[in-house]
């Protein structure tokens, strides 16, 4: 399949008279988006291929919005009608490739600095709002895909959960709304050596960005499905973030943090199961025990007792 896409890309580039020496597959993600290294005049750049034109359009739009606020890839060529962008290559220092016990604190605090800087900007991003419908539709993926058996218990549990969780989603109105990357984790962040301060944290994969609660990207970073983050480091990041925003009530922040964590983990469990069942992408299943563990951790707070009782029958996995 990848070779077919490379062949298609090569034909498009030749037709568009774009010179290149070589194209090699770099990475794919949970979507249909794929990345390739394209060599031209001895320079390696990244070619993004996405058969969703709306997604490419949004990537370009958000890149323009963020370009002077954080480090995002420069866009060298737009062939949107052909589903192709050629963008800057951030190199091999992706956080997930270089993170270790020695540098973990500094990398995660750097990623938090970048969020703090963006969250302090008063800008009209003209993006959709992360409203109750979006939150609910996403957490429903857990019931629709993770719980595959068609049973009355499944449907009743979904209804009971949504009835209970509605009041918690409403609590998100008590904290600031900001630009949210929406997939802010170590696989989408790069260490850029020739940049200073928060600009040394390079961002990719932000085309699904929305305006929403300020806790969202912090939760993505510290409760990542793919990698364990020490509880002490998570606590340190939360405190570090709050020090920069005296206008945020820490108690409200903490409850909203857990609300988003519960919603996000339910969404991720549904997506990982859907990828395996519908798309035959089974490599994400290995992360499910970690996600369930984090979900249970957040549900253990006394305010979520009713929700915990609804969900616990479904959280024995493996």
Q: pLDDT digits over 16-48, tens only? A: 888 888 999 988 765 678 899 999 888 999 999
Residues 164 and 283 in one domain: yes
Domain containing 81 equals 2-87
Q: Which of 118-127, 152-161, 238-247 is predicted most confidently? A: 238-247
Q: Of 87, 103, 121, which residue is a domain's last? A: 87
Using alpha carbons only, what angle is made at residue 227 by residues 29 and 47, rounded to the nearest 5 degrees? 25
Domain boundary among 87, 112, 134: 87
144 and 64 in one domain?
A: no
Q: If we measure between CA atoms, which residue out of 113, 78, 83 comes closest to residue 203?
A: 113
Assess whether pLDDT exceeds 90 at residue 154.
no
Q: Do 147 and 290 fall into the same domain?
A: yes
- Percentage of the chain surpassing pLDDT 70? 98
* Per-residue confidence (pLDDT) for residue 222, from 0 to 100: 97
Domain count, the chain: 2
Pair 80, 45 in one domain? yes
253-259: Cβ within 8 A, 24+ apart: 253/175, 253/214, 253/215, 255/168, 255/171, 255/303, 256/171, 256/172, 256/174, 256/175, 256/213, 256/215, 257/215, 257/218, 257/219, 258/298, 258/301, 258/304, 259/168, 259/169, 259/171, 259/172
Which of residues 57, 87, 117 is at a domain's end?
Answer: 87
- C-alpha–C-alpha distance, residues 213 and 13, integer Å: 41
Q: Do 265 and 116 fall into the same domain?
A: yes
Of 30-34, 83-87, 91-95, 122-126, which range is least confident? Answer: 30-34
Q: Are 18 and 61 in the same domain?
A: yes
Confidence of residue 312 (pLDDT cuts 50, 70, 90): very high
171 and 262 co-located in one domain: yes
> What is the CATH classification number for the domain harbouring 77?
3.30.200.20
Q: Which helix (H) or strand (E) holds 78?
A: strand 75-79
Q: Are residues 35 and 110 in the same domain?
A: no
> What pLDDT is recorded for position 240?
97
- Let me know whether 151 and 223 are in one domain: yes
**Two structure tokens written together for 283:** 């490599």
Classify the C-alpha dihedral 158-160-166-171 as positive or negative. Answer: negative
Same domain, 224 and 135: yes
Quick check: pTM over 0.85? yes
Same domain flag for 128 and 230: yes
CATH number for the domain harbouring residue 275: 3.90.1200.10
Nearest to 119 by CA among 248, 237, 214, 235: 214
Say if strands 84-87 and 43-49 run parallel, antiparallel, or are unpaired.
Answer: antiparallel
Q: Provide long-range contacts, Cβ within 8 A and 24+ apart, for 120-126.
A: 120/244, 121/69, 121/179, 123/65, 123/179, 125/62, 125/65, 125/179, 125/209, 125/211
- Cα distances (angstroms) measured from residue 81 to each of 5, 50, 190, 274: 16, 11, 29, 29
- Rounded CA-CA distance 32/301 in Å is 37
**Residues 36 and 167 reside in one and the same domain:** no
């Amino acid at each position: 399949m990848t070779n077919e896409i490379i062949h298609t890309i090569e034909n498009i580039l030749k037709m568009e008279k774009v010179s290149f020496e070589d194209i090699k597959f770099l990475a794919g993600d949970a979507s249909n988006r794929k990345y390739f290294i394209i060599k031209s005049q001895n320079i390696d750049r990244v070619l993004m291929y996405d058969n969703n034109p709306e997604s490419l359009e949004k990537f370009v739009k958000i890149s323009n919005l963020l370009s002077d606020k954080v480090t995002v890839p420069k866009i060298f060529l737009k062939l949107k009608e052909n589903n192709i962008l050629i963008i800057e290559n951030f190199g091999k220092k992706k956080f997930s490739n270089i993170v270790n016990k020695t540098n973990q604190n500094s990398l995660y605090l750097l990623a938090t600095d970048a969020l703090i800087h963006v969250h302090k900007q008063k800008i009209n991003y003209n993006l959709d709002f992360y409203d109750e419908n979006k939150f609910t539709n996403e957490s429903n993926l857990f019931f629709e895909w993770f719980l595959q058996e068609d049973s009355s218990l499944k449907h009743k549990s979904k209804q009971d959960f949504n009835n209970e969780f509605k009041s918690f989603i409403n609590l998100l109105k008590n904290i600031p709304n900001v630009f949210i990357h929406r997939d802010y984790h170590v696989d989408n962040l790069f260490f850029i050596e020739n940049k200073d301060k928060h600009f040394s944290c390079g961002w990719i994969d932000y085309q699904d960005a929305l305006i929403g609660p300020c806790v969202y990207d912090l939760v993505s970073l510290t409760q990542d499905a793919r990698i364990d983050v020490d509880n002490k480091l998570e606590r340190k990041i939360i405190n570090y973030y709050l020090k920069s925003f005296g206008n945020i009530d820490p108690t409200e922040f903490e409850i909203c943090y857990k609300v988003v964590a519960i919603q996000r983990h339910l969404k991720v469990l549904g997506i990982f199961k859907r990828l395996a069942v519908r798309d035959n992408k089974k490599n994400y299943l290995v992360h499910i025990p970690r996600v369930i563990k984090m979900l249970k951790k957040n549900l253990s707070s006394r305010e979520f007792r009713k929700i915990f009782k609804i969900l616990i029958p479904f959280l024995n996995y493996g």
